[in-house]
Chains A and B, each alone.
Chain A
């Protein structure tokens, strides 16, 4: 029996990625990283800035996400996100600019705690890519 399931990553304006032979995926859910294998129970959760690790037969793929919602059902994982990038396509200037922007927003005092947490999470993740 195969141990594969399907992953759909969709952006608001297009379908970003789709593969039905995924062995394992690790997503940065808001309460901690979450690994998903085949026959996981149906779940809905949302993401914090982080890195998605996706392993298929061809190897490991990594994506950087900023936000998103995941839904797992009938061995299909849907990830809805507005900001996602393949780690291979990220260059240094993108990371630097994003860190700068995020730091500027952190100085802004009227952010609530959750936004503050997400923002600092973003900075940390971007630093690790660097």
Chain B
């Protein structure tokens, strides 16, 4: 059995860990609110963007010559997967869930005899993937310095993807991120962004006859790259809300577990203290009796 001193030390160390996890929970809760607001404020933009693209693509007559970003290269051989994770750890299963989803997808692609290329956004994803898929990772991006997700970072990622697409480095591009549902639930998502799946976009008005200035395909050429950045930005916003939510619940659990541990250790401490006192009393009494 551990000595009294050892128990005392353990209790105080668990207590200070509890203080840290509690503080992290508070910070995550504050950040979560901001991230959630950000995600909500970002929604109108991506929704409107989707709507416009849908309307445009419906009006494309010449499907053969429509922009490659919309229709794809016509092939399906090289897949680029953009795995978006956080830059920091201690956030429960947040990163692991995305990686798990992505790994399933990777396996499917490789089993089908297709080529896989990976682009990681966020350093945690890279750390977890480099051992198994290190040779497949073509680029890693991390925004450790920037505090909140912002559009210009998303635009940078989007431009990298588009540049590689025009160099014919891949045919299909899919992004992986966590969708924020609530504090305890985040759903890992896979979303194909090149070629764009217009069927994913909801159709709410089909009687509109738009006038286009300039021509449809010219607008689409201008719009599609922006849409990719927008999708990535949306993923980033969802991710940052999910990260904070996941961290908050993970830290909440940790705080509770630490509390339970402190209780258990305190009982053990008191028991052994009492045992020591009883032992001393017995020694004194039996000493007195023998006189």
* B213 with A43: CB separation less than 8 A: yes
B226 touches A15 (CB 8 A): no
Check if A43 sits within 8 Å of B211, measured CB to CB: yes
A22 at the interface (CB under 8 A from B): no
Check A80–B209 contact: CB distance below 8 A.
no
Residue of A15, A29, A42, A46 near B210 (CB, 8 A) is: A42
Please state if A11 and B151 are interface contacts (CB–CB under 8 Å): yes
* B208 on the A face (CB < 8 A): yes
A12 at the interface (CB under 8 A from B): yes
A35 CB to nearest B CB, Å: 13
Given contacts A14-B41, A15-B44, A69-B52, whether A43 and B208 have CB atoms under 8 Å apart is no
Query: Known contacts being A11-B45, A44-B219, A71-B52, is A31 close to B154, with CB within 8 Å?
Result: no
B186 close to A (CB within 8 Å): no
Write out the residue numbers on chain A whose beta carbons fall within 8 Å of the beta carbon of B187: none
Residues of B within 8 A of A43 (CB): 210-213
| Inter-chain contact B51/A10, CB cutoff 8 Å | no
Question: In whole angstroms, what is the CA distance A45 to B214 when docked?
Answer: 7
Task: Indicate if B223 sits at the interface (CB-CB under 8 A).
Answer: yes
Instruction: Please judge, given known A-B contacts A12-B45, A13-B42, A44-B56, whether A29 and B213 are in contact too, CB under 8 Å.
Output: yes
- From 98 to 118 in chain B, residues with beta carbon under 8 angstroms from any chain A beta carbon are none
Q: Is A30 an interface residue (CB 8 A)?
A: yes
Q: Nearest chain-B residue to A73 (Cβ)? A: B208
Q: Flag if A44 contacts B52 (CB, 8 Å).
A: yes
Which residue of the partner chain A has the closest CB to B150? A13
A to B contact number (C-beta, < 8 Å):
78
A78 at the interface (CB under 8 A from B): yes
Instruction: Give the interface size class of chain B.
Output: 20 to 34
A85 contacts B by Cβ under 8 Å: no
Q: Are A45 and B154 in contact (CB under 8 A)?
A: no
Query: Given the complex of chains A and B, what is the CA–CA distance between A42 and B51 in angstroms?
Result: 13
User: Residue A10 contacts which of B48, B213, B222 (CB distance < 8 angstroms)?
Assistant: B48
Whether B219 lies near A46 (C-beta < 8 A) is yes
- Pair A12/B154 contact, Cβ less than 8 Å: yes
Residue contact B213 to A12, C-beta cutoff 8 Å? no
Q: What sequence of 0s and 1s flags, for each residue 55-96 of chain A, a beta carbon within 8 Å of any chain B beta carbon? A: 000000000000001010100001010100000000000000
Q: Is A37 an interface residue (CB 8 A)?
A: no
In the complex, whether B94 has a CB less than 8 A from a CB of chain A is no
Give a binary string over A1-27; 1 marks a CB under 8 Å from any B CB, 0 the rest. 000000010111111000000000000
Interchain nearest-CB distance for B100 vs A (Å): 29
Contacts of A129 in B (CB 8 A): none
B234 smallest CB distance to A (angstroms): 9
B219 touches A12 (CB 8 A): no
Contact between A42 and B209, CB atoms less than 8 A apart:
yes
Q: Is B72 an interface residue (CB 8 A)?
A: no
Flag whether B269 is at the interface (Cβ < 8 A). Answer: no
Across the interface, which residues of A come within 8 angstroms of B52, CB to CB?
Answer: 44, 69, 71, 80
A selection of 6 A-B contacts at a CB cut-off of 8 Å is A11-B45, A13-B42, A13-B45, A42-B209, A44-B56, A44-B213
14 additional A-B residue pairs with CB within 8 Å, beyond A13-B38, A14-B42, A43-B212: A11-B45, A12-B45, A12-B46, A12-B151, A12-B230, A13-B45, A42-B210, A44-B211, A46-B219, A69-B52, A69-B219, A71-B48, A78-B48, A82-B155
